[in-house]
Amino acid sequence: MWDYTDKVKDHFMHPRNVGELKDANAIGETGSLNCGDALKLFLKVNENERIVDASFMTFGCASAVASSSALTEIIKGMTLDEAAKITNEDIADYLGGLPKEKMHCSVMGKSALKKAIADYRGVQIMEKPGEMVCECFEVTDLEIIDAVKANGLETTEDVTNYLKAGGGCGKCLDRIEEVIDSVKAKG
Amino acid sequence: MNVIYTDNNATTKVAEEVIEEMLPYFGEYYGNPSSMHTFGDQVGKKLKQARQRVADLIHADPEEIVFTSCGTESDNSAIFSALNANPDKKRIITSNVEHPAILNLFKYLRDKKGYDAVFVPVDEKGCLDLDMLYDSLTDDTAIVSLMWANNETGVIFPIAEIAEKVTEKGILFHTDAVQAAGKIPIDVTVSHVDMLSLSGHKIHAPKGVGVLYVKKGIKFYPYVIGGHQEKGRRGGTENTVSIIGLGRACELAAQHLPVVGTQVKELRDYLQKQLLEKIPSVSVNGDQAIRLPNTLSIGFDAVEGESILLMLDKEGICASSGSACTSGSLDPSHVLMAMKVPFKSAHGTIRFSLSHYNTKEEMDHIVKTMVPAIETLRAMSPFWKDGKMV
pLDDT in tens, B126-152: 999 999 999 999 999 999 999 999 999
User: Whole-model pTM?
Assistant: 0.91
Q: Which of A39, A163, A164 sits opposite B330 (nearest CB)?
A: A164
Q: Which residues of A touch B328 (CB under 8 A)?
A: 101, 104, 157, 160-164, 166-167
Cα B312-B147-B328 angle, rounded to 5 deg: 45
For A77-84, the CB contacts below 8 A with 24+ separation are A77/A50, A77/A51, A77/A52, A78/A50, A78/A51, A79/A48, A79/A49, A79/A50, A79/A51, A80/A45, A80/A49, A80/A50, A80/A51, A80/A117, A80/A120, A80/A121, A81/A49, A83/A51, A83/A113, A83/A117, A84/A113, A84/A114, A84/A117
Give the mean model confidence (pLDDT) for residues B182-195.
Answer: 97
Interchain CB contacts (distance < 8 Å): A and B: 83
Quick check: B380 contacting A, CB < 8 Å? yes
The confidence score (pLDDT) of residue A184 equals 87
Query: Which long-range contacts (C-beta less than 8 Å, at least 24 apart) are formed by B381-386?
Result: B381/A57, B381/A58, B381/A59, B381/B302, B381/B303, B382/A29, B382/A38, B382/A39, B382/A40, B382/A57, B382/A58, B382/A59, B383/A33, B383/A38, B383/A59, B383/B301, B383/B302, B383/B344, B384/B301, B384/B302, B384/B303
**Per-residue pLDDT tens for B257-316?**
999 999 999 999 999 999 999 999 999 999 999 999 999 999 999 999 999 999 999 999
pLDDT at B99 over 80: yes
Any A CB within 8 A of B299 CB: no
Taking CB atoms and an 8 Å limit, are A161 and B327 in contact across chains? yes
Average pLDDT per 10 consecutive residues for chain A, totaling 187 residues: 92 96 94 86 96 97 95 97 94 94 88 94 77 82 91 90 81 89 85
Query: Which among B390, B375, B278 is positioned nearest to B344, based on CA atoms?
Result: B390
Q: What is the pLDDT of residue A35?
A: 75
Q: Name the interface residues of A facing B (CB cutoff 8 Å).
A: 9, 12-13, 15, 18-19, 29, 33-40, 57-62, 64-65, 101, 104, 157, 160-164, 166-168
Beta bridge partners of A79: A50
Residues of B involved in catalysis: 325
Residue A80, pLDDT score: 96
Candidate list A61, A105, A136, A169, residue with the active-site label: A105
Average pLDDT over residues B328-341: 82
Query: ∠ at Cα B226 (B220, B228), nearest 5°?
Result: 70
On whether any CB of chain A is under 8 Å from the CB of B328, the answer is yes
Output the pLDDT for position B195.
98
Residue A65 to residue B380, Cβ atoms within 8 A: yes
Using CB atoms within 10 A of its CB, is residue B11 exposed (0-12), middle (13-18) or buried (19+)? middle
In B168-207, the residues whose Cβ lies within 8 Å of chain A are none
Residue B220 has pLDDT above 80, yes or no: yes
| Spacing of C-alpha B124 from chain mean position | 20
pLDDT digits (tens, 9 = 90+) for B116-128: 999 999 999 999 9
Per the prediction, chain B carries an average pLDDT of 96
Identify the helix (H) or strand (E) that includes residue B267. helix B265-278
Distance CA B113, CA B109 (A): 5
The whole-angstrom distance between A78's CA and the closest CA on chain B is: 24
Q: What is the pLDDT of residue A167?
A: 77
Whether the per-residue pLDDT at B184 is higher than 50: the answer is yes
Report CB contact under 8 Å: B307, A157: no
> pLDDT digit string (tens) for B69-91?
999 999 999 999 999 999 999 99
- Radius of gyration of chain B from its Cα atoms, rounded to whole angstroms: 22
CA atoms within 13 A on the CB side of B161: 8
- Residue A136 a catalytic site member: no
- β-pairing, B384-385 vs B195-199, is unpaired
**CA triplet B359, B364, B368: central angle to 5 degrees?**
150
Q: Is the pLDDT of residue B326 over 50?
A: no
Selected catalytic residue, list A35, A61, A134, A136: A35
> How far is B372 from chain A, CA to nearest CA, in Å?
13
Measure CB to CB from residue A18 to each of B327, B329, B380 and give the nearest one. Answer: B380
Residues of B in contact with A35 (CB under 8 A): 330
Across residues B38-50, what is the average pLDDT? 97
CA B108, CA B103: separation in Å to the nearest integer? 9
Cα B157 from Cα B290, distance rounded (Å):
8
Is residue B109 pLDDT above 90, yes or no?
yes
* Cα separation, B378 vs B384, whole angstroms: 6
Q: DSSP letter at B208?
A: S
Going by C-alpha positions, the residue among A59, A69, A78 that lies closest to residue A120 is: A78
Residues B155, B156, B157, B163, Cα dihedral to 10°: 160
> In the structure, what pLDDT confidence band is assigned to residue B327 with cuts at 50, 70 and 90?
very low
Q: Which of A12, A22, A30, A33 to mutate against chain B (most B CBs within 10 Å)?
A: A33
Cross-chain residue pair B323–A36, CB shorter than 8 Å: yes
Interface probe with A: pick from B300, B301, B307, B309, most Cβ of A within 10 Å: B307
* B329 vs A: CB within 8 A: yes
The ipTM, to two decimals, is: 0.88
Closest CA relative to residue B198, chosen from B54, B93, B326: B54
Which residues of B are less than 8 Å from A160 in CB distance?
327-329
SS3 category, B95 = strand
